[in-house]
Structure 1
Amino acid sequence: MSDLLKRKAQATPRGVGVMCDFFVERAKNAELWTTDGKRYIDFAGGIGVLNTGHLHPKVQAAVSAQLQQFSHTCYQVVPYESYISLAEKINQRAPGAGAKKTAFFTTGAEAVENAIKIARAATGRPAVIAFGGAFHGRTLLGMALTGKVVPYKVGFGPFPSDIYHAPYPNALHGVSVDDALAGVEKLFKYDVDPSRVAAIIFEPVQGEGGFYPAPTDFVQRLRALCDQHGILLIADEVQAGFARTGKLFAMSHYAAAADLTTLAKSLAGGFPLSAVVGRAELMDAPAPGGLGGTYAGNPLALAAAEAVLEVIEEEDLLTRSAQLGALLQEKLRGLKHSVPQIADVRGLGSMVAVEFMKPGTHEPDVDFTKKVQAEALARGLILLTCGTYANVVRFLFPLTVEDAVFDEALDILEQALKA
């Protein structure tokens, strides 16, 4: 392993930050084994990519079968039925009334950028509003939309223009729904005429920002504000989608629909695939040739995504997500008396987070958060942190995790918190 670490340092740039100092050799469902034979329980899930686990048999079989047929033609050159079939399934399942269409891409950032392109083409307007704490990707436009400077924006500017940020509602940190919407109204007063705004993009549950679910009132009022000014509402469900929150789409928790929705991560169970789904007339706004990409809608990834949908429905992962999330939140809340750094436990379904602050204060406890993550890793549990202040541990375990493995992970988590 030391030789691999040396080769890594010599061959790859330091800008690609790597959390673990070991290397995976094989993985199955919620477990992985390293090149030196150590076993870990994976509660990171490739950053929310593996809602159906590592190498689910149905996903594996679907990709293997497709690999016997063809691996690539570029859909825009020689099309194939699987692209259409998966689009039909997503169109049928996406929240909101009316006809929908879906376009496929490769990464979450690509989906976000294309959603902005579609919104601008449909409205003829240039400006976009996003929110503080948001994460929308690492491309230049993605970084411009992202509401966090370190580490995503440092040294990479200048960024695209006509991007504006409003505060995201966060009661724990003193930002009410009224405050957030007043922030949007202030943008209209100080920075951009609402008649120039093509879209407002938001995460129904902020991911990198700290796993903060959007309050229902906020989403409904944001929808009304968009309707008032002819602005499109984009829901970024790259991390929150495909059963993570206990619904196939996170927006299904709200009595309001987005005009466009971005998907990626667990859409294809570990294979690179993303999508934009939206109202048919909006999706048709770009001219032919305006959307696409060489690898967009890769046949292997489409086959994996078809299998993922089958697994979610056949194994009732929506119910499973709600059950596991409830167990995890119950466990964390039960530890608050012995772990005073626990300031908040929150989440929708299995999109759960715990936030740490210094006892008796409202000061984020970054050091404690790092120690919890390190202690868990030393005991064989992989956890991720997030949040504007890096004081949140988030949980992205496979929803297919076996009960015994889940219970083992919760025991390790308790040990790490108390250590």
Structure 2
Amino acid sequence: MTTVDVRTPEALAEAERWTAHNYHPLPVVIAEADGAWVTDVDGRRYLDFLAGYSALNFGHRHPALIAAAHAQLDRLTLTSRAFVHDQFAEFCHALATLCGKDLVLPMNTGAEAVETAIKVSRAWGYRVKGVAPGRAKIVVAENNFHGRTTTIVSFSTDPDARDDFGPYTPGFAVVPYGDLDALTAAVDDDTVAVLLEPIQGEAGVLVPPDGYLAGVRDLCDRRSVLLVADEIQSGLGRTGRTFAIEHEGVEPDMYVLGKALGGGIVPVSAVAAGRDVLGVLRPGEHGSTFGGNPLACAVGVEVIRLLQSGEFQERSRRLGERLHAGLRALTGHGVLQVRGRGLWAGVDIDPALMTGRQACERLAEHGVLAKDTHGSTIRLAPPLVVSPDEVDQAVAALAAVLADARR
């Protein structure tokens, strides 16, 4: 009999030994990936229905993105912003055009882009709106997830992200998500921005009530306040539109982008806004050594090219309808509620059956990778290259998990 070399337990133990325990990953050790599929160190294949929290919208190792990265690696990888490189203008121009804005400020991670938006909003408030020094206020929503820096967790309502990391940065007001009356009451003369996720991902893929985002846009216009849309997870095709906020025909004053902008290859983030907003920054006031580096820009340009055809937005819309129809059919059979848009769904599992973590562990046993959040909720966000049959396969796997639990 041939002995099978099983590497997963040892690899998990080594990771546990040598890393800080700031994550609690599923017991899967991935070694290779292609498209919507990943393969672990023992050769087992899984459908990736998390896609790096939307960082892999175009799938693993998309050929056009890999080619762009390879070509740039042979030429130039980093200059710092002390100089201008030959990919920088093309990337900024392409992204500004995609967003319908004048200017772009590239960074690396989503949290850096959010911090950039906060600084720009405050500078705009002081230099343009005329808010008194030190009094700028930004209104945010409960259950938000904008990152994990010390300033960002200061306005988080998630104890896991916030507790024991104070003292906290002042200057933020928190209101219930989707409550326009509460938001209106919170906005005052010192308010410089409203920072929102058009769909709250970490909270469980929460979609706001119809008309909410349009109402926020109207309020911001009336009170001379910037509307800042954090589209780090929801943007770049995920919901069936280029940006999730487009579902209500709303244009923000500032887009905050990341994740899919790097094509699953390099971390790339950015803010995009009009010249009247981003133009408030002066040399030396903000920056990042790797922000807008040549490799990132080369990959980002190719990402934008993929989006310009509309193919991925349409795939997300069409296959999202298939995904949501399949998930809704499970309501009453172990699923309590399904939310989301496009290829993005939050699924509330009946807690009497299992936790979200248990559901994801059992899905992995059926060859599908997903991620839990907040108790009994799981999130599904496959790459936009997923096929109709693969969507059906993932729904069937969840159905099987629920059926086993109900026996």
Fold similarity call, TM over 0.5: yes
* Identical amino acids, percent of aligned pairs: 29
**How big is each residue's C-alpha offset from its partner over 1:116-172, in whole Å with a ceiling of 9 and x where there is no partner?**
1111111114211100011010001121233322x2112111110111100012xxx
Shift of 1:237: 0.3
Q: In 2, distance between residues paired with 1:84 and 1:13? A: 39
**How big is each residue's C-alpha offset from its partner over 1:32-68, in whole Å with a ceiling of 9 and x where there is no partner?**
1111211111101112110100000100000000001
Shift of 1:314: 4.7
2:249 partner letter: A
**Contact 2:213/2:245, CA 8 A, preserved across alignment:** no
- Please give the TM-score of this superposition, normalised by the length of structure 1: 0.88
Unmatched 5+ stretches in structure 1: 170-179, 189-193, 359-364
Greater alpha carbon shift after TM alignment, 310-319 vs 277-286: 310-319
**Contact 1:135/1:145, CA 8 A, preserved across alignment:** no
**Contact 2:323/2:391, CA 8 A, preserved across alignment:** no
Map of 2:19 onto structure 1? 12
Count how many residue pairs are aligned between Structure 1 and Structure 2: 388
**Contact 1:366/1:391, CA 8 A, preserved across alignment:** no
Alignment of 1:179-194 (within 5 A): 180-187=179-186, 194=188
Q: In 2, distance between residues paired with 1:165 and 1:45? A: 30
Q: In 2, distance between residues paired with 1:307 and 1:393? A: 31
1:343 partner letter: L
Q: Does 1:79 align with 2:74?
A: no
2:258 partner letter: A
Map of 2:361 onto structure 1? 374
Greater alpha carbon shift after TM alignment, 34-43 vs 238-247: 34-43
Map of 1:390 onto structure 2? 375
Q: In 2, distance between residues paired with 1:21 and 1:368? A: 16
Q: In 2, distance between residues paired with 1:349 and 1:22? A: 27
Alignment of 1:20-35 (within 5 A): 20-35=26-41
Alignment of 1:293-308 (within 5 A): 293-308=288-303
Q: In 2, distance between residues paired with 1:140 and 1:69? A: 37
1:401 partner letter: V
Shift of 1:216: 3.6
Alignment of 1:354-365 (within 5 A): 354-357=347-350
Map of 1:109 onto structure 2? 111
1:393 partner letter: I
1:166 partner letter: V
Unmatched 5+ stretches in structure 2: 1-7
Map of 2:4 onto structure 1? none
Shift of 1:357: 4.5
**Contact 1:198/1:231, CA 8 A, preserved across alignment:** yes
- Please give the TM-score of this superposition, normalised by the length of structure 2: 0.91
Structure 2 SS opposite 1:214: coil
Distance 1:186-1:357 versus aligned 2 partners, 3 A rule: farther
Map of 2:279 onto structure 1? 284
Shift of 1:390: 3.0
Map of 2:336 onto structure 1? 343
**How big is each residue's C-alpha offset from its partner over 1:219-278, in whole Å with a ceiling of 9 and x where there is no partner?**
121112222222111000000010001111112212322111100011121120001001
Q: In 2, distance between residues paired with 1:357 and 1:280? A: 49
1:371 partner letter: Q
**Contact 2:143/2:156, CA 8 A, preserved across alignment:** yes
**Contact 1:233/1:260, CA 8 A, preserved across alignment:** yes
Alignment of 1:146-225 (within 5 A): 146-149=156-159, 151-169=160-178, 180-187=179-186, 194-225=188-219
Map of 1:175 onto structure 2? none
